Amino acid sequence: MGYKSDTIAAISTAMTTSGIGIVRMSGEEAFSIIDRIYRGKKEKKLSSEKSHTIHYGYIVDEEAEIDEVLVLLMRGPHSYTGEDTVEIDCHGGVYVTKKILETVIKYGARPAEPGEFSKRAFLNGRMDLSQAEAVIDVINSKNEYALKSSVEQLKGAVKKKIDVIRNDIIYHTAFIETALDDPEHIEIDGYGKKLKVVVDENLLRIKQLLDTADDGRVMREGIKTVIVGKPNAGKSSLMNVLVGEERAIVTDIAGTTRDVLEENIQLQGISLNIMDTAGIRQAEDLVEKIGVDKAKLNAGQADLIIYVVDASLPLDENDYEIIEMIKDKNAIILLNKTDLSTVITKQMLKTKIEKPMIEISAKEETGIHELENTLKDMFYHGNVSFNDQVYITNIRHKTALKAAYESLMKVNDSIENQMPEDFFTIDLMDAYEALGSITGETIGEDLVNEIFSKFCMGK
Amino acid sequence: MKYSANSAWVNNDKYDVVIVGAGHAGCEAALACARLGLSTIIFTVSIESIAMMPCNPNIGGSSKGHLVREIDALGGEMGKNIDKTFIQSKMLNKSKGPAVHSLRAQADKENYSRQMRRTLEKQDNLEIRQGEIVNILTEENKVTGVQTYSGAVYHCKAVVLCTGTYLKARCIYGDVSMNTGPNGLQAANYLTDCLKELGISMYRFKTGTPARIDRRSVDFSKMEEQFGDERVVPFSFSTNPEDVQIDQVSCWLTYTNEHTHEIIKNNLDRSPLFSGMIEGTGPRYCPSIEDKVVKFADKNRHQVFIEPEGLETNEMYIGGMSSSLPEDVQYAMYRTVPGLEHVKIVRNAYAIEYDCIDARQLHPTLEFKNIKGLFSGGQFNGSSGYEEAAAQGLIAGINAAMEIMGKEQIILDRSQAYIGVLIDDLVTKESHEPYRMMTSRAEYRLLLRQDNADQRLTKIGYEIGLISEERYHALLEKEQIIQEEIERLEHTNMGTGEEVQNILERAGSTPLTSGTTLAELIRRPELSYELLESVDYQRRPLSDEIKEQININIKYEGYIKRQLKQVEQFKKLETRRIPENMDYDKVPSLRIEAVQKLKQYRPVSIGQASRISGVSPADISVLLVYMGQK
């Protein structure tokens, strides 16, 4: 028997544009959820169909049709997890698959924790003992990644915004709680009106965060692609060509780019998070050195590296350092500046490193099409992919934002219904907790600490 | 000389349980054990100090009132004793939701202490003995007895330590320091060393109390009078409400001012807290007046409550102005407060330092993890407050008895009682100050109301053996009446008759366009069960207590259901017990920090493990998978 029987959902295929995508749900409510979002030819509900059958139809969210799908039904205990399980095979594609996952979550499932399907399978006795340790490892490694990605990939600004909301919530909660604890010192009659202003303001803030989340901007989704090269190789020019605007400052001065610039672009249906970095060399001034270190760090975490070689100059020690660095990584090498007279050829480079190579001129925008095709090939052949945990984490964040939003709406309901002030804090704390799950913070002693640090208790 | 116990004399009388200390925790522990039929002896350094209230003269207050109700529902004594001895009573937060209604009574301190002593004296199986315990005797990590200062040995099967603030106690104000317990009573200076030898790690905590003043020197015309409630609600579910409708005395409200604060600021260098003479950690919720003036410098006044200490004394308590400043500064600052211009001090304010334990060494049953048969409760466990102490004393006493009788010990969880929250926090979380109960510490406080403590806990009290058959059946009957009445209200349809519309209009409620149930009407914020009485013709006469239950259950049904659902989720982890002999080193992939913490705490359930700081959700998953293999 599992310790949690709520219904979990996840995308169980790789997040690419090709083939089919599978969204899987497991738990007590899997069947009732699919009943509400599936429309087939027959009137009959899927929950009354036999186990281990396949059904053709559509996933719908009320009136809106999301995709044409095949639905597989497996009743527990005869399923991978041992629980009622529903698999939705859809038309692949990042957008559609994600949309379906969001729909099942909207109707009551929650995003699965890393390794949770396997964990349930094990706990429900569907896996033999020898597999247990593997499950533990999966839980550990995936958790580590999810934690890292969720905190790292949160844009600083988003974390700041969430912190502002959380600080507001905890302050007002603490005030109400202090008054309740010490009613003879602090009066809070009629506090609802004041609180409503605060709640409305924070609802708006969360709404704005949710809107940007819908654009996929809470977290950076896509193949993490890092442009590296020695100074003045033309990395920023390439970035600008790919992004299609003057995003990076381009000069003839080596070392112009000092920080990491990041943009999301779509190349033939593939989402790339493309990062321009400082040129790699033994930098002397401190700012540039920090830039170089960041470049190396990002290259280390990249799903794909685009190495820009200045073909008009001979290779130097900086190039050799980069070649060493990208040896075991997914990389494309661009021989740039074909508009000038070149001294480096593909043949020369091939003796040093085996990677796809393309001759380009970022300045005259030649060879770009070839680059796009190469990228596409690598992606569809599965050479390059990105960790789908990022998507999952993003969906988890969105779910958390929505939960916080709903909790604050409940506070407003309570205010409107003239509920006593102590009811407000129940939902305020729920919102606080939901937001904390995004930034990786738990409640702990926050409330008690806030009470003692901000308000003077009597006695 | 350590103590005079060089030649041990063994008292051959047979005792099951020894209680060390007769404060609020000790009294509950002793009564519980004796009432359960165990031969019990309670030691105190002074018989006169049984159930003494050395600080504020109240029982109850926010969340503490809940604790008293719960103690009562389980068969404890505190509620009954305050019902016999209160001189003013108030239900706090009456304009707020039922979850935060809290009873608080002013006690006649001397009478409170005397009545509790009488109850102990009249209790079968219970002996009261004056004497200081200096040694806990053990064999193979199991308690075998205690030894007194005079050398006498008392053998027993279990010991409950309720030493309060007496261990190596030191009272301080200004540069005056005395090695005494509260109120100048003798401190217990030897037990700490014995406990350390047993491998128990100790903390040093600090708390404080304001001065007591002579009523005749107070000018009440400059203060606001604070009355008790017109209709008093008793603490104990077994007290007849009519018995507590007494003549009450008043308390008085006045304020500090900038002059007061100036005197304090000018003398801060003479405070033992600021000079470093006090090393113990003080509570943040109960700051001294000098703490408040420093920390909340922007506040130009603080409230001061002048409260009587009893009917037959002139002493009054200065609530809100505890201090450890020197005597001359105390006079000066108190005399800046309106009404206290000519005040005469009877007893100085002081800070007190004492030894207590890191309660993480305890099981949630309040038994030491390393010493079988050794239990502890009260301020000794790092809490503060009479009510927190009594609650732990009761649980420690019950579990000592259960262990001796070979029955299952009780652990109340966070969804069952404030007592559960209190003990879970104490034994699970690291704390650097005396712990005080607060309603905000309870996640499910809408369920843990003071008004339903009997429905939550009396069945448990009955099963333990502390609640009489009669009282238990009265509860069952009450529950049935509540249920039937709610059922009736849910199914009684109100037409749109004139009388109904009139009532709605008077209450400022929207008139009905079609019929609806009485329950639906009660859910409207401006209406209540009481208000609809005149149009509810089939209603039978019910007690105030029952009417309240009906009203709350219907009115807040939505919120209550939500919390019940959360509790369901919570219980799943709470009921996953971790085997006592769990070898965390053998769990593959568990992080080192988690292994260390889990080995140190040895949590009883997955739920408790998840609340230990340093144990992550991933660690919990790993544990679950590992436990699944077994």
CB atoms within 10 A of CB B180: 16
Summarize pLDDT for A260-278 with one digit per residue, the tens: 777 777 766 666 778 888 7
| Calpha distance B568→B79 (Å, rounded) | 31
Summarize pLDDT for B284-317 with one digit per residue, the tens: 777 899 989 988 888 999 999 999 999 999 999 9
Q: Which residues of A touch B286 (CB under 8 A)?
A: 457, 459
CA distances, B186 to each of B44, B46, B116, B143 (Å): 10, 8, 21, 26
Note whether B322 contacts A444, CB cutoff 8 Å.
no
Architecture (CATH level 2) of domain B576-629? Orthogonal Bundle (1.10)
Nearest to A458 among B320, B440, B572 (CB): B320
Note whether B99 contacts A422, CB cutoff 8 Å.
yes
Nearest to A420 among B62, B97, B629 (CB): B97
Give the CATH number of domain A8-152: 3.30.1360.120
CA angle B426, B427, B429 (to 5 degrees): 70
Helix (H) or strand (E) holding A275: strand A270-276
| Calpha distance B463→B469 (Å, rounded) | 10
Note whether B622 contacts A136, CB cutoff 8 Å.
yes
Q: Is the pLDDT of residue A2 over 50?
A: no
| Calpha distance A260→A301 (Å, rounded) | 14
Select A156-216+389-454's CATH number: 3.40.50.300, 1.20.120.430, 2.30.110.10, 3.40.50.11720.
1.20.120.430
Nearest to A422 among B97, B287, B622 (CB): B97
> Closest Cα partner for A410 from B366, B431, B562, B445?
B562
Q: Is B294 annotated as a binding residue?
A: yes
Note whether B625 contacts A139, CB cutoff 8 Å.
yes
- Which residue bears the tokens 């499932």? A109
- Average confidence (pLDDT) over A328-346: 87
pLDDT-based confidence at A158, cuts 50/70/90?
confident
| Calpha distance B447→B455 (Å, rounded) | 11
| Calpha distance A330→A356 (Å, rounded) | 10
Q: Is the pLDDT of residue B262 over 80?
A: yes
Q: Check if the beta carbon of residue B591 is closer than 8 Å to that of residue A22.
A: no
Q: Is the pLDDT of residue B351 over 90?
A: yes
Q: Strand ranges (DSSP E) for A311-389?
A: 331-336, 357-359
Averaging pLDDT over each range in A126-140, A383-397, B200-214, which range is the top one?
A: B200-214
Q: What is the predicted pLDDT for the residue at B218?
A: 98
Q: Return mean pLDDT, chain B.
A: 93
Nearest to B625 among A136, A417, A456 (CB): A136
| Calpha distance A330→B50 (Å, rounded) | 78
The residue among A184, A188, A414 with the most chain B CBs within 10 A of its CB, best to mutate, is A184
Q: Is the pLDDT of residue B212 over 70?
A: yes
Select B13-207+354-464's CATH number: 3.40.50.1950, 1.10.580.10, 3.40.50.1820, 3.50.50.60.
3.50.50.60
| Calpha distance A298→A284 (Å, rounded) | 20
Q: How far apart are the first and last CA of chain B?
A: 55
| Calpha distance B163→B45 (Å, rounded) | 10
Q: Which residue of B has its CA nearest to A427?
A: B559
Nearest to A448 among B95, B286, B440 (CB): B440
Percent of chain B with pLDDT over 70: 98
Summarize pLDDT for B7-60 with one digit per residue, the tens: 689 999 999 999 999 999 999 999 999 999 999 999 999 999 999 999 999 999
Question: What does the domain layout of chain A look like in residue ranges?
Answer: 8-152, 156-216+389-454, 223-380
Q: What is the predicted pLDDT for the residue at A3?
A: 42
Note whether B95 contacts A143, CB cutoff 8 Å.
no
pLDDT-based confidence at B553, cuts 50/70/90?
very high
Alpha helices in B513-602 (DSSP H): 518-523, 544-555, 557-574, 592-601
Helix (H) or strand (E) holding A413: helix A389-416
Helix (H) or strand (E) holding B459: helix B453-464
Question: What does the domain layout of chain B look like in residue ranges?
Answer: 13-207+354-464, 469-563, 576-629
Q: Is B488 annotated as a binding residue?
A: no
| C-alpha torsion A25→A26→A29→A30, nearest 10 | 40
Q: Which residues of A touch B285 (CB under 8 A)?
A: 452, 457, 459
Q: Which residues of A touch B302 (CB under 8 A)?
A: 456, 458
- Give the DSSP letter of residue B528: -
Note whether B438 contacts A177, CB cutoff 8 Å.
yes
CB atoms within 10 A of CB A61: 15
State the binding site of A.
24, 87, 126, 232-237, 251-257, 276-279, 459
Nearest to B100 among A422, A451, A456 (CB): A422
Provide the β-strand partners of residue B102.
Answer: B92
Nearest to A180 among B96, B303, B588 (CB): B96
The number of angstroms, rounded, from the C-alpha of B421 to the middle of its chain's C-alpha atoms is: 11
Q: What is the predicted pLDDT for the residue at A152?
A: 53
The residue among B55, B88, B96 with the most chain A CBs within 10 A of its CB, best to mutate, is B96
* Joined tokens for residue B276: 């470093």
Q: What is the predicted pLDDT for the residue at A363?
A: 85
Sign of the dihedral through C-alpha B324, B327, B332, B335: positive
The residue among B438, B559, B611 with the most chain A CBs within 10 A of its CB, best to mutate, is B438
Q: Which residues of A touch B525 (CB under 8 A)?
A: 417-419
Select A223-380's CATH number: 3.40.50.300, 3.50.50.60, 3.30.70.2740, 1.10.3720.10.
3.40.50.300
Q: Is B597 annotated as a binding residue?
A: no
**Residues recorded for chain A:** 459
Note whether B525 contacts A445, CB cutoff 8 Å.
no
pTM, full prediction: 0.81
Q: Which residues of B touch A4 (CB under 8 A)?
A: 569, 572
State yes or no: cis peptide before A183, omega within 30 of 0: no
Q: Is the pLDDT of residue B552 over 60?
A: yes
| Calpha distance B421→B360 (Å, rounded) | 14
Provide the β-strand partners of residue B176.
Answer: B173
Please state the three-class secondary structure of A111-175 as a single string.
ECCCCHHHHHHHHCCCCCHHHHHHHHHHHHHHHHHHHHHHHHCCCHHHHHHHHHHHHHHHHHHHH
Note whether B624 contacts A123, CB cutoff 8 Å.
yes
Note whether B287 contacts A456, CB cutoff 8 Å.
yes
Q: Is the pLDDT of residue A396 over 80?
A: no
| Calpha distance B241→A112 (Å, rounded) | 54
DSSP state string for A12-23: -S---SSS-EEE
Q: Is the pLDDT of residue B497 over 90?
A: no
Note whether A458 contacts B296, CB cutoff 8 Å.
no
- Which residue bears the tokens 């544990």? B623
Q: What is the predicted pLDDT for the residue at A329?
A: 83
- Which residue bears the tokens 């359930």? B605
Q: Which residues of A touch B441 (CB under 8 A)?
A: 448
- Average confidence (pLDDT) over B155-182: 95
Q: Which residue of B has its CA nearest to A424?
A: B97
Q: Does domain B469-563 have CATH number 2.40.30.200?
A: no
- Which residue bears the tokens 């209550």? B560
Q: Which residues of A touch B612 (CB under 8 A)?
A: none
Q: Which residue of A has its CA nearest to B298?
A: A456
Q: What is the predicted pLDDT for the residue at A255?
A: 64
Q: Is B507 annotated as a binding residue?
A: no
Question: HSE (CB half, 13 Å, CA atoms) of B628?
Answer: 27
Q: What is the predicted pLDDT for the residue at A138?
A: 62
Q: Which residue of B has its CA nearest to A447?
A: B440
| Calpha distance A371→A376 (Å, rounded) | 9
Averaging pLDDT over each range in A88-102, A334-348, B33-47, which range is the top one?
A: B33-47
> Closest Cα partner for B528 from B555, B559, B504, B509?
B555
Note whether B440 contacts A451, CB cutoff 8 Å.
yes
State the binding site of A for Mg(2+).
236, 257
* Joined tokens for residue B230: 């017109």
CA distances, A34 to each of A45, A97, A392, A427, A448 (Å): 9, 15, 20, 29, 42
| Calpha distance A367→A356 (Å, rounded) | 13
Q: Which residues of B touch A182 (CB under 8 A)?
A: 62
Nearest to A137 among B62, B441, B589 (CB): B589
Beta-carbon contacts of B396 under 8 Å, excluding residues fewer than 6 positions away, are: B25, B29, B160, B162, B366, B367, B375, B376, B377
Interface confidence: ipTM more than 0.85:
yes
Q: Which residue of A has its CA nearest to B292?
A: A456
> Closest Cα partner for B389 from B92, B5, B22?
B22
Nearest to B525 among A133, A184, A418 (CB): A418
Summarize pLDDT for B570-612 with one digit per residue, the tens: 898 898 899 988 999 988 778 888 899 999 889 999 999 988 8
Q: Is B505 annotated as a binding residue?
A: no
Beta-carbon contacts of A64 under 8 Å, excluding residues fewer than 6 positions away, are: none
Nearest to B97 among A137, A139, A423 (CB): A423
Angstroms from A382 CA to nearest CA on chain B: 30
Note whether A113 contacts B621, CB cutoff 8 Å.
yes
Note whether B96 contacts A135, CB cutoff 8 Å.
no
Instruction: Indicate the SS3 state at residue B25.
Output: helix
Q: What is the predicted pLDDT for the residue at A142?
A: 55
Q: Check if the beta carbon of residue A106 is closer than 8 Å to that of residue A33.
A: no
Q: Is B568 annotated as a binding residue?
A: no
Q: What is the predicted pLDDT for the residue at A290?
A: 81
Phi, psi of A306 (to 5 degrees): -105, 115
Instruction: Indicate the SS3 state at residue A188.
Output: coil
Nearest to A143 among B303, B322, B618 (CB): B618
Q: Is the pLDDT of residue B2 over 50?
A: no
Summarize pLDDT for A413-441 with one digit per residue, the tens: 999 988 999 999 999 999 999 998 887 77
Q: What is the predicted pLDDT for the residue at A157?
A: 64
Q: Which residues of B touch A425 (CB under 8 A)?
A: 440
> Closest Cα partner for B57 from B235, B310, B288, B393?
B310
Q: What is the predicted pLDDT for the residue at A407?
A: 96
Alpha helices in B286-430 (DSSP H): 289-295, 327-334, 386-405, 418-428
Q: Check if the beta carbon of residue B455 is closer than 8 Å to that of residue B479.
A: yes
Picking from A310-314, B457-461, B480-484, which range would have the lowest pLDDT averaged per residue?
A: A310-314
Q: Which residues of B touch A139 (CB under 8 A)?
A: 589, 618, 621-622, 625
State the binding site of A for K(+).
232, 251, 253, 256
| Calpha distance B285→B207 (Å, rounded) | 11
Q: What is the predicted pLDDT for the residue at A317?
A: 87
Query: In terms of C-beta density within 10 A (0-12 exposed, 13-18 middle, 19 or more buried), how is residue A108 classed?
Result: middle
Q: How far apart are the first and last CA of chain A?
A: 50
Angstroms from B198 CA to nearest CA on chain A: 32
Q: Which residues of B touch A445 (CB under 8 A)?
A: 429
- Give the DSSP letter of residue B230: S
Q: What is the predicted pLDDT for the residue at A458?
A: 59
Alpha helices in A153-310 (DSSP H): 156-181, 191-214, 235-243, 286-301
Q: Do the first three CATH levels of A8-152 and A223-380 match, i.e. the same topology?
A: no
Beta-carbon contacts of A301 under 8 Å, excluding residues fewer than 6 positions away, are: A224
Longest dimension (CA), chain A: 85
Q: Return mean pLDDT, chain A.
A: 81
Q: Check if the beta carbon of residue B77 is closer than 8 Å to that of residue B32.
A: no
Q: What is the predicted pLDDT for the residue at B177?
A: 92
Sign of the dihedral through C-alpha B276, B278, B280, B283: negative
Q: Check if the beta carbon of residue B588 is closer than 8 Å to that of residue B577.
A: no
Q: What is the predicted pLDDT for the residue at A327?
A: 85
Note whether B322 contacts A177, CB cutoff 8 Å.
no
Summarize pLDDT for B49-97 with one digit per residue, the tens: 999 999 999 999 999 999 999 999 999 999 999 999 999 999 999 999 9
